Every structure is written in structure tokens, then in C-alpha cells.
Amino acid sequence: MYNIDDIRAILKNKLSEKRYEHTLGVEYTAAALAMRYGADMNKARVAGLLHDCAKYFPGEKLLAKCRKHHLEINQYEQDYPELLHAKVGAYLASSKYGVQDEEILSAITWHTTGRPDMTLLDKIIYIADYIEPNRNKAPDLDEIRELAFKDLDECLMTILSHTLSYLKEKGSVIDPTTFATYEYYRR
Ligand code: FE
Ligand code: FE
């Protein structure tokens, strides 16, 4: 069992107020989803708390940390280094927060893009990040929030397709991992 208060205390010092509020929102939402789907409560809360623990680093710093600690950088991450906050977050979770649990580290690593064949905890954190109470910009949030507690995979699929159409609309390049996740769950 990881100590929730200890992790919170460190994060409160590191993150901006807004990011910290988002972090608590993800923690609570992940806890609620863990109750609904029978996931480990402590792991869900810790993964929720730490998912954005590297978000305060600028892109250049994230790239530098990856190089220093030999974390692989793909072409897409090279072009959009902010994405690396997930991978670096998992690295910090283990090196600075003492979290060695593979399930937690995986959920942090994949919280931005998802991945094919996600674990229950991966899905919970991915979804909690999207629906936590402080979020208000995405379309159909009420329906998606309801769906999260009815059918986790259906909810995941809805978020992925919203995310892809949003990226398309913006004319952004579509991150290959998000696309691979979508293709995997579309079947
Ligand atoms: Fe994030
Ligand atoms: Fe987040």
C-alpha cells in the first residue's frame, strides 16, 4: 500500500494549483471507477495522483530527461515532446516516489494515448483523466461520464473516437499510438 497523503504533499509543492486540482479530480474519479469495476483502490488512487507528475516540465526538459535516463523517444514524441510527460511521469513515479508496481507504472505511461490491449487500470486512468469533475471542454461530457460507469470499453471507444475527430478537425497530425488504440478497440 502506498501512502496517499505523502504523495499528495509532494505533488502539492510541485504542481500549479490548477494542475493539482486536476490531479485530485483524477484520483477521486479513478477511485470511483475502481469501486465500480473491482480494481485495486490504492493502485487506482496512486496512479491517478501521479499520472501528471511530470507535466510541469517543458518539452525540452522532457526530451533531456529521456535522453539522460535512456527512455526511448519515438518520432512523434520528438515532434511533440509534451507527450513525454506520461513516460517521464512513470519514470519519476518509480525513481522519486518509490512506486515499483508495474500496473501503476503502465497506467501512467499510457494515460495520454492509450494502447492496444489496455489493462483495467490503464483504462480507468485514461478515462478518469478525460472525465474528472474539473474538465468542461470536451463535447458530450455528461453522456461520457454516465457511460464510464455503465460500460468501460464503450466509454473508452467513445473517448478515442472523439479525440481522433478533434485532432482531425484541428488539422493536427494523429499520434500513431492513439490511432492504434482506436483500431484495436474498434474491432
Ligand atoms: Fe497527462
Ligand atoms: Fe491529466
> pLDDT tens digits, residue range 78-98?
999 999 999 999 999 999 999
Tell me how far CA of residue 145 lies from CA of 39, 53, 71, 125, in angstroms: 18, 24, 34, 13
Distance from the CA of 66 to the center of ligand 1, in angstroms?
Answer: 16
Query: How many A from CA of 124 to the centre of ligand 2?
Result: 12
Contact indicator for 154, 161 with CB cutoff of 8 Å: no
Q: What is the pLDDT of residue 50?
A: 98
Set of cell numbers at residue 21: 486540482
Q: Give me the pLDDT at residue 174, please.
A: 85
- Ligand 1 centroid–CA 89 distance in Å is 9
**The pLDDT of residue 173:** 81
Residue 175 has a pLDDT of 86
Ligand nearest to the CA of 111: 1
Q: Looking at residue 108, what is its pLDDT? A: 98
Regions of the chain where pLDDT drops below 70:
none
What separation in Å is there between the alpha carbon of 51 and the centre of ligand 1?
6
Three-state secondary-structure class, residue 55: coil
> Number of C-alpha atoms within 13 angstroms, CB side, residue 143?
7
CA of 52 to the centre of ligand 2 (A): 5
Query: Which is nearest to 96 in space by CA: 159, 46, 53, 149?
Result: 53
| Nearest ligand to the CA atom of 89 | 1
168 burial type by CB count under 10 A (0-12 exposed, 13-18 middle, 19+ buried): exposed
The CA distance from 87 to 17, in Å, is 22
| Ligand 2 centre distance from Cα of residue 184 (Å) | 23
- Tell me how many degrees the CA angle 180-185-187 measures, rounded to the nearest 5: 110
d(CA 81, CA 102): 24
Cβ 36 vs Cβ 146: under 8 Å: no
Separation of CA 187 and ligand 1 centre (Å): 26
DSSP 138: S
